[in-house]
Amino acid sequence: MSRKYIAFMPVNPRENPADRVDLALAALFENGIVAGDLRDRASLRNGPNYTLLFKDPDPRKQEGGFGCDPGRMTVSVHCGDMKGFSGDNLEPVACIHCNSELPYNAAQDAFWALRDGKPVDDPMMTMECYHCGEGNSALDADWSRSGGFAHVAILFEGETSNRVEPNPAGLALLSQVLGTPVRFVQVHGW
């Protein structure tokens, strides 16, 4: 199944600002980044000012407009157990011990482990380096914008290009209301 979405999540995957999610949604709503009925999360869409949070430099044409036009992207929230967000675009990362590139399948296994219900301290969450034999924590790896782990994430899903850019102003707003630095990832399949 191929999904395409962008997600905003704490930089530190161990942070769990679950009690501030409502505040964050309210702030996004007040700024016109999110529209709909806050009491009915299924109704939430990208709002008229969504570009305060992200922009698509290469928007996908759709009938009567673009896929990222206000109202065309669904907004959802993940809140609870730590979850891995990744797609086919997951970037390889370097071993923190010897700087070799870690095997891609070890990285994918770590994301799949959480998806399959394994605990955060499961051995699958440690990526072993084939070169030096040392372990690397998947949680602490730098996946850049291609993936990440989070207890709380705000997701925008729709027909965008694969080159969406976050707006620093929106990241700062979300970081402030969630009480922890927030980063951006874009997940897609081929």
Site residues, Zn ion (CB under 5 A): 95, 97-98, 100, 129, 131-132
Give me the least distance between CB of 92 and Zn ion, in Å please: 13
DSSP code, position 57: S
CB of 107 to Zn ion, least distance (A): 14
Other beta carbons within 10 Å of 79: 17
Whole-angstrom distance, CA of residue 189 vs CA of residue 88: 5
Q: What are phi and psi of 169, to 5 degrees?
A: -60, -45
Q: Which is nearer to Zn ion, 14 or 131 (CB)?
A: 131
Give the residue with the Cβ less far from Zn ion, 26 or 98.
98
The smaller minimum CB distance to Zn ion, of residues 18 and 98, is found at 98
In whole angstroms, how close is the CB of 61 to Zn ion at the nearest point? Answer: 45
| SS3 state at 92 | coil
- Residue whose CB is less far from Zn ion, 98 or 172: 98
Give the distance from CA 156 to its chain's centroid. Answer: 9
Q: Residue written as tokens 């065309």?
A: 72
Taking the complex as a whole, how short is the minimal distance between the CB of residue 142 and Zn ion, in angstroms?
15
